[in-house]
Amino acid sequence: MILNSAGEGILGLDLQGNHTFVNPAAARMLGYEIEELIGRHSHTIWHHSKVDGSPYPEEECPIYAVHRSGAVHTKDNDVFWRKDGTSFPVRYTNTPIIEDGNIIGAVVSFRDITDRKQVQESLRESEEKYRLLFEGESDAILVFDGPSRRIIDVNPAALNLYGYSREEFLKMQLKDVAAEPEESEKTFQSLPAAGYRRIYILLCCAGYSERQRQRYLGDLPSCYACA
């Protein structure tokens, strides 16, 4: 009952790598009927090729290393192959079956992590877009950690404006760059950003007097965002 109802794929393998049991989730994800897999060699069916499609020699396969080492092995980023020739990303754990002190096989449990990979890719793309905008912005941007007021990021325009290196900036806090720290803290406390993890300050310097630039944190900043 547990095998049949489990949401993750579960495969039993003997010492030769042949399937001894297959649960419905595993068969479904691999595109087979359970009967098609029982007794057949696992590596040649669903682990024969690497992510790039090149052959995956059985002697290099970490799943079979468990038969020799007896240690539980987990891999967070691999691919299994379906009956129709397509692949899907998986996270799997391979656990040895030990009886009377001897390894007699292994259990492979796996999950399809396609959704997770898509989310990671979306986050990576978003980060790349953010970095392009952040680095290319002609106005200075300082990013503060909300609770500590510590500077956690600066763009090149801020480096040029202040004359500090990035390493020097990342050792600073709000009070270190504000001409009037007490007034600056009051301004931060008045912002709806209070309690947020990050506060972004955009210094729109065009048309500002030198005194306005020096006092920007003592007055309302030109633009801020919270995250």
- The tokens describing 92, both together, are 């799997």
Q: Which domain holds residue 180?
A: 137-226
Looking at the structure, tell me whether residues 159 and 81 fall in a common domain.
no
pTM of the predicted model over 0.85:
no
- Supply the pLDDT for residue 153: 87
181 in a domain, yes or no?
yes
Residue 177 tokens, joined: 């760059």
Identify the domain boundary among 81, 116, 151: 116
Residues 100 and 168 in one domain: no
Q: How many domains does the chain have?
A: 2
Looking at the domain assignment, is residue 125 inside a domain? Answer: no
Answer with the one of 53, 84, 116 that is the final residue of a domain: 116
In a domain, 29, yes or no: yes
CATH number for the domain including 165? 3.30.450
* Lookup: tokens for 112: 């399809």
40: in domain: yes
Tell me the longest C-alpha to C-alpha distance in the chain.
83
The answer on 155 and 80 residing in a single domain is: no
d(Cα 190, Cα 177) in Å, to the nearest integer?
A: 19
Check whether residue 41 and residue 110 sit in a common domain: yes
Taking the C-alpha atoms of 112, 117, 118 and 123 in order, what is their torsion angle to the nearest 10 degrees? 150
Q: Cβ(145)–Cβ(198) under 8 Å?
A: yes
The verdict on 150 and 65 lying in the same domain is no
12: in domain: yes
CA angle 46, 106, 95 (to 5 degrees): 105
Both 42 and 148 in one domain: the answer is no
- Return per-residue pLDDT of the chain as tens, 227 residues: 555 556 799 999 999 999 999 999 999 999 999 999 999 999 999 999 998 989 999 889 988 888 788 889 999 889 999 999 999 999 999 999 999 989 999 999 999 999 888 887 787 777 787 788 788 888 888 888 777 788 888 889 889 888 899 999 999 987 888 777 777 777 667 665 444 555 555 554 443 444 444 443 344 344 444 44
Residue 132 lies in a domain: no
Residue 20 domain-assigned (yes or no):
yes
Q: Which residues pair with 207 in a beta bridge?
A: none
What does DSSP say about strands 73-81 and 198-203: parallel, antiparallel, or unpaired?
unpaired
Q: Which of 116, 145, 179 is the last residue of a domain?
A: 116
Give the domain CATH number at 78: 3.30.450.20
Evaluate whether residue 123 is within a structural domain. no
